[in-house]
Chain A
Amino acid sequence: MFNLTDLHLDALSEVFNIGAGRAAASLSEIVGEEVKLSVPSVEIRRSEELNVQALQLEQSHFGIVKQQFSGTFSAEASLLFSEESALEIMRDMMGSQMSVEELAEFEQEAMCELGNIILNACLSAMADMLVIQLESSLPTYTVYSADEVIQNIVDLEDQVYILILHINLEIERRQVNGRLIFLFSSGSLSSLRTKIDSFLQNI
């Protein structure tokens, strides 16, 4: 009923690639080098189908930047990187002169900023293309185990649909994989679908 067709997913995938392109341009200005950021796949699942395998979470701990989006529809967006990758990206962003202690102090702030750039670039690309308005809350950063990531999603009562994007980020010759996860209620997913339909009808 709320299933998205291949064409819906194709449209979303294009939206997220444009978002990733904008985010990469912003990140590139921070690190002063080319940043490669791509979203090779987009899929949608129900929350009860979710497990560590479905998300392909190979590492044990993840740094997660979370933001709430509201407007035409609402969603909770989470950007996941393995904890080690998160620290490495941060070191690249902050410069390599910092000691481990200093890095730990800035971890929260730097990861929120990274998440903020990527999530807002994706959401603003979506808002522009679908001609909708979305507002975002301030980002929060938490470190969770893979099981906690899943449990937090499965425990939610309203957010039953999950849009999963695989993210490849290459920054300063370092390649890291992440996941971008959007949690939608069935009502919000239905609104998103309607917006994609009107976008497709206008082509």
Chain B
Amino acid sequence: MGFGDITYVTRDQNDQGGFVIGQAVAHMSAYLGPRLSVFGEFSLTARDTQYSSEVERLIVKYDFSDQFKLSAGRYHTPIGYWNSAFHHGAWLQTTVSRPEMIKFGSKIVPIHFVGALLEGNIPGNSLGLSYMAGIGNGRHANIARSGDAGDINGDNAWMMQLNAAPDRYFGLHAGVGFYTDEISPSDRPDIREKTVSAHVAWTKESPEIIFEYLYSNHEFVADSSISGDTNAWYVQFAYRLKGKNRNWKPYARLESTDVDDTDPLLADQNLDYDAGILGVRWDFNPYAALKGEYRNEEFNNGGRENNFRVQVSFVLAKL
């Protein structure tokens, strides 16, 4: 199984754009035994002069029961909704791209996590509760990357997420999460990071509503008086049309990221962001979609930019 996409971008503020080959993603999964399974996800991403390859996820999982599933490997950090729901499949998501706050390479959220994860359902309730708890390597000195070759400061990151999918409101997903780590950036003293996330998603497509909020606090370990917060959120609304027009799905999204000037980790990273997005998805084939998207964005309070994107995305799978 795999995913791929090709996007055409045009902008009104500069000439950067044209055709962009998105990620080519290959995926494998297999049972190694009745309870043991392995999952892998590998990507090729177009760069200026070459393609970069990446082991995006590699997970070995042992299912004790529905309540206890223990795994180890490299994950997309289970913070919030999008990062756990859509991964690298542009075809899976309604829009052309991920929200800015959790884009691949984001410095706001640690997108990847290397470690061990315990997850499962919490039985005996009609709220459809489930949990995830993980411990592993924190961010690398390059804070956009996970500690793939080990934790650089010996201080593990850990996380918890509690999700609900109530029986009574089939299609509703909600959750809260917490993540903490001690980061050792290459250019400044150690920083303590605490992140809280919350999300609500209505996953039936008529309508589809996703809201995700993230609050992050950073402070110097040696001097906690120097600290700052980051607040980021997006809300996405989509509606798959009915009847013979059901292959069409218009959508809109609002996004915002606000970083305190005193945030010791992120203040100098130019991450403030606001955007309004309008688009439409056309599923012209069971395994391929064409999306057209208009974006009005403002990066780091530097004036607004308009751009337009057209993307064809596909999945290699037969079901």
Decide whether A and B assemble into one complex: no
